[in-house]
A and B are shown apart, each in its own frame.
Chain A
Amino acid sequence: QVQLVESGGGVVQPGRSLRLACAGSGFTFRSYGMHWVRQAPGRGLEWVAVISDDGSHKYYADSVKGRFTISRDNSKNTLYLQMNSLRTEDTAVYYCAKDWAAPGLFDYWGQGTQVTVSS
């Protein structure tokens, strides 16, 4: 069965960096675009970034552009999110999600990893 498992979250000071990972299994990872979506405490869902199946195309939300970098290693079935210059407003649960019938339509999500930016 399809599984997406995030890791790498934690507590970090403002201005510091963190790298999240999402390990995929149960499907042909290299065939699907992958996304990061975040959810601040008590808030709704915010799309963060997407990477195409081969990694050649990447898009970001304005709120993270220039600070976050999405990447993937298809040989390891793993998606990454490098987060630099972190701000308190980046505090959230970060989910990875898999494209399905259309880019941006998600059929599977990971359980999420908590990122807390605090001094």
Chain B
Amino acid sequence: DIVMTQSPDSLAVSLGERATINCKSSQSVLYSSNNRDYLAWYQQKPGQPPKLLIYWASTRQSGVPDRFSGSGSGTDFTLTISSLQAEDVAVYYCHQYYTTPKCSFGQGTKLEIK
């Protein structure tokens, strides 16, 4: 099983500043046949289901603001929010779907306003 580990567990950032969340997988999620990383990022606000932000490690889902970006490949990935807005307060999860159709999530990173 692939274990996903996020860092930090929680993060406090000032409005307008950059927020960076890291995710490390216990094995590569890069599928060599199509050169795609099977890695997604979700945002979850209290009382709501998760919302897909990024897939294939760096492709932004339709309707997601461009301040959200994903990067990385293989085993190390990053979600960056370039200029934090109040509505970005949430828990963020990385998610590997390499072991499709099974999958696994990171433990989550709680993002708050400083």
Contact = CB atoms under 8 A, between A and B. Distances in A.
Interface of A: 33, 35, 44-47, 50, 52, 57, 59, 61, 95, 99, 101-107, 109-112
Given A50-B102, A59-B102, A109-B49, A104 B97 contact: yes
B105 A47 contact: yes
A109 B97 contact: no
- Sorted nearest first, the 9 A-B pairs with minimum C-beta distance are A104-B97, A109-B49, A104-B103, A103-B101, A103-B100, A45-B105, A104-B100, A44-B108, A50-B101
21 contacts: A44-B107, A44-B108, A45-B42, A45-B50, A45-B93, A45-B105, A45-B108, A46-B105, A47-B103, A59-B101, A59-B102, A61-B102, A95-B49, A95-B50, A102-B97, A104-B38, A104-B103, A105-B55, A109-B50, A109-B51, A111-B49
| Consensus secondary structure, chain A interface | loop
B104 interface: yes
Contacts, number: 61
B84 to A, nearest CB: 22
A101 B55 contact: yes
Q: How large is the interface on B (under 10, 10 to 19, 20 to 34, 35 or more residues)?
A: 20 to 34
A106 B95 CA distance: 10
Interface of B: 38, 40, 42, 44, 48-52, 55-56, 61, 93, 95, 97, 99-108
A111 B44 CA distance: 12
A102 B49 contact: no
A13 to B, nearest CB: 27
Contact of B40 (A47, A50, A99, A105): A105
B102 A44 contact: no
Contacts of B55: 101, 105
